[in-house]
Amino acid sequence: MSTSDLKTTLVVVGAGMAGFSAALQAAQAGHDVILLEKQSETGGSSAMSGGCLAFAGTDLQRANGVNDSSELLFKDLREVGKFENDERLVRAYVDNQLDTYEWLKQAGVQFGPHIETSSGQSVPRVHNVDPADAVRALAASARRTGRVRLLADTRALRLVRDPQSGRVAGVTAQRGNETFKVLGSRGVVLASGGFVHNAELIHRYVPQYNEEAAVFIGGEGNVGDGLKMAQQLGADCRDMIYIKGTYGKHPVDETNHHSLLAVYKGAIAVNQDGKRYVDESISYKLLGDACIAQPYSSTFQVFDQSIFDSGDNQTRILDIERRHEEGLVIQADTLEELAAMIEVPADVLADTVKTYNGYVDAGHDRDFGREHLVHQHGELVKIETGPFYAYPSTAAVYGTYCGLCVDPDMHVLDVYGEPLEGLYAAGEVVGGLHGAAYMTGSALGKAAIFGRIAARAALAD
Ligand SMILES: Cc1cc2nc3c(=O)[nH]c(=O)nc-3n(C[C@H](O)[C@H](O)[C@H](O)COP(=O)(O)OP(=O)(O)OC[C@H]3O[C@@H](n4cnc5c(N)ncnc54)[C@H](O)[C@@H]3O)c2cc1C
């Protein structure tokens, strides 16, 4: 061991929601933690996210008159993931979610008063936080324990194994020109996020997603370091082919990186030919796939004034008004004018809207089978009251939602399904929870829930 090497009980790589949750959980149990963050700022994708977390059966839902349960959450998660997800991980999420919701509140995370429905949810289940504040609250709680040492600007490079036992015993890390080891007697939790900024790696798994077809947004440090570190030791991965963009990102605006899902309030999605191409109520990840298959990977969400005015705007992805104020929503008095402004054939757009309105009246969408506004929730509405609006939309890859195979205690598994002793993972670096698609709020939820489970397991083993 060199003089600059560091020793602690648990090493955590990455200071986003998952890393802080793991670190805080371990510190509250009386253990010392070194938390490595390669960037100068903590927070990763967590701090820039939409701040939606999926929990079921909470006091907030009850206060909003929402009847939900862990079993319904389990059913929805499995269905959204098209049963491609690992049932044991879904169970781990569900069994630990309510406790984690309360734990986050205890740790100072503040949830807004409203509950929203979003992608993949049979009942309103989105619990809103200010994402940067939530990370700050966890960081402050971790600091207060006096047991978490945060090393910013410090990048974990490789995992270190104990030469005798082969157990993962720490990492080599780099800060400036200095390279040193950080050793943890209870091992390492990888909480290094996904690889949204590793275009080459994404393209390898999903060739249809390249920089021309979609936009890529997330924590600057998220290039797949943790994934590769574990792969070097033989870790297995899953869900890689299910990397998907989220529908509803404005293709060129750089001031607002969030998606708008006016479709979940009743808008239709049309392509450059002015035609619908999908059931708009499905997961916004599947809508992302459908969008990039359209000409120029660019489409429009088309709606009218009553859809604009419907629901509330508490959830960022439903906040049409805000995008309108930002000048991103195209407005016209008539559908013909709107078609001219977005350069789609006016007669086709008029026909598309007329046909769709007919389906709403008849209660049956003969083209794509849309039955609800979102998932199995909300009655369809006609597009008929001007002014009319269009929101240019493409798919944005906000996260990779796939990665290391883990068991329900977050032990990282090798290609034979055996645990790599001393190695745990949590958050976006983990594969298997989402399966084929993703329920809004389950990525941030998974970061907090799995972060806590990983720390508990590391300390119990
Ligand atoms: C714009 C946007 C909106 C989103 N909205 C939502 C939402 O509303 N609800 C939801 O559920 N999900 C949402 N997501 C996804 C969600 O934010 C992420 O999946 C989740 O925050 C991941 O948390 P994490 O802690 O695993 O990773 P991150 O928060 O990304 O943290 C990982 C950290 O690890 C650091 N790191 C990486 N490699 C190393 C290394 N080698 N050494 C040291 N540090 C390293 C990174 O710099 C980063 O700080 C959104 C994502 C984006 C980008």
Rounded to the nearest angstrom, the distance between the alpha carbon of 52 and the centre of ligand 1 is 13
* Domain identity same for 349 and 393: yes
- Amino acid making up residue 452: R
* Domain identity same for 369 and 406: no
pLDDT tens digits along 158-182: 999 999 999 999 999 999 999 999 9
55 within a domain of the structure (yes/no): yes
Would the CB of 18 count as within 6 Å of ligand 1?
yes
Mean per-residue pLDDT, 56-64: 97
Mean per-residue pLDDT, 432-457: 96
279 within a domain of the structure (yes/no): yes
CATH number at residue 163: 3.50.50.60
Would the CB of 217 count as within 6 Å of ligand 1?
yes
* Domain identity same for 191 and 181: yes
Distances (CA, A) of 317 to 35, 303, 440: 32, 15, 10
164 within a domain of the structure (yes/no): yes
Would the CB of 403 count as within 6 Å of ligand 1?
no
pLDDT tens digits along 402-426: 999 999 999 999 999 999 999 999 9
177 within a domain of the structure (yes/no): yes
Other C-beta atoms within 10 Å of 312: how many?
10
* Domain identity same for 181 and 328: no
Strands (E), 232-293: 237-238, 246-249, 268-270
The confidence score (pLDDT) of residue 314 equals: 67
Q: Which of 397, 418, 441 is the last residue of a domain?
A: 397
Q: Is the pLDDT of residue 316 over 80?
A: no
pLDDT tens digits along 278-294: 999 998 888 999 999 99
Lowest mean pLDDT among 15-24, 113-122, 136-145: 113-122
Q: Is the pLDDT of residue 308 over 70?
A: yes
Q: At 120, is the pLDDT very low, low, confident or very high (cuts 50, 70, 90)?
A: confident
1 within a domain of the structure (yes/no): no
* Domain identity same for 154 and 54: yes
Mean residue pLDDT across the chain: 95
Dist. CA 332–CA 352, nearest whole Å: 17
Rounded to the nearest angstrom, the distance between the alpha carbon of 219 and the centre of ligand 1 is 6
Q: Which of 364, 397, 430 is the last residue of a domain?
A: 397
Cis? peptide before 124, omega within 30° of 0: no
Would the CB of 263 count as within 6 Å of ligand 1?
no
Cβ partners under 8 Å of residue 425, min gap 6? 189, 190, 191, 226, 230, 403, 404, 406, 410, 412, 450, 454
Would the CB of 118 count as within 6 Å of ligand 1?
no
149 within a domain of the structure (yes/no): yes
Rounded to the nearest angstrom, the distance between the alpha carbon of 45 and the centre of ligand 1 is 3
For residues 294 and 403, is the Cβ–Cβ distance under 8 A? no
Pocket test for ligand 1, best of 192, 243, 250, 260 (most atoms within 8 A of CB): 192
Query: SS3 of 154, please?
Result: coil
Q: Is the pLDDT of residue 266 over 80?
A: yes
How many domains does one find in the chain? 2
More confident site: 456 or 118: 456
CATH number at residue 279: 3.90.700.10
The confidence score (pLDDT) of residue 449 equals: 98
* Domain identity same for 40 and 164: yes
Rounded to the nearest angstrom, the distance between the alpha carbon of 190 and the centre of ligand 1 is 12
* Domain identity same for 434 and 374: no
* Domain identity same for 261 and 326: yes
* Domain identity same for 410 and 363: no
How many angstroms from the chain centroid is the CA of residue 268? 24
Mean per-residue pLDDT, 245-252: 94
Would the CB of 225 count as within 6 Å of ligand 1?
yes
Atom of ligand 1 at shortest distance to CA of 42?
Answer: 49
* Domain identity same for 195 and 333: no
pLDDT tens digits along 200-248: 999 999 998 888 888 999 999 999 999 999 999 999 999 999 999 999 9
Q: Is the pLDDT of residue 326 over 80?
A: yes
Dist. CA 75–CA 88, nearest whole Å: 13
* Domain identity same for 442 and 372: no
The H or E element containing residue 422 is strand 419-425
The confidence score (pLDDT) of residue 1 equals: 64
The confidence score (pLDDT) of residue 4 equals: 85
pLDDT tens digits along 340-368: 999 999 999 999 999 999 999 999 999 99
Would the CB of 46 count as within 6 Å of ligand 1?
yes
Range list of H helices, 37-169: 44-48, 59-63, 70-80, 87-106, 131-145
How many angstroms from the chain centroid is the CA of residue 453? 19
Would the CB of 16 count as within 6 Å of ligand 1?
yes
Residue range of the domain that includes 267: 247-397
Q: Which of 364, 379, 397 is the last residue of a domain?
A: 397
* Domain identity same for 117 and 131: yes
Q: At 254, is the pLDDT very low, low, confident or very high (cuts 50, 70, 90)?
A: confident
